Amino acid sequence: DTAVSQTPKYLVTQMGNDKSIKCEQNLGHDTMYWYKQDSKKFLKIMFSYNNKELIINETVPNRFSPKSPDKAHLNLHINSLELGDSAVYFCASSPRGGLPVSNEQFFGPGTRLTVL
């Protein structure tokens, strides 16, 4: 009964390919996020969706396209993969993103993407 799950856990692919990472949460949360952790271990927000609506887009290249078919899922599709896309991608969810209440974020186990 994993709270936030991601598939696949590892993804190795060639430059120029298109790939997707899936995320699902069974916590009933309204808000979901994608973070990227690079080789220097810096964790950086990429996107956030609240009830299927995009609320954060942190100047990520438009090769990255998040899609939220319902509020329990937030998938990340990456076109024309580049070497610099190699990183660990974490999905997270929280009860509410922007309302005046405190809320913690629950993170998934991460997807390690390696672009060759």
Where on the chain is the footprint of another protein (CB under 8 A)? 4, 31, 33, 35, 41-45, 48, 55-56, 58, 90, 92, 94, 96-110
CB of 18 to another protein, least distance (A): 25
Nearer to another protein, 9 or 17 (CB): 9
Angle at 93 between CA 92 and CA 97, to 5 degrees: 120
Q: Which amino acid is at 18?
A: D
Cβ of 103: how many Cβ atoms within 10 Å?
Answer: 15
Nearer to another protein, 10 or 20 (CB): 10
CB of 36 to another protein, least distance (A): 11
> Which position has the token pair 């790939």?
19
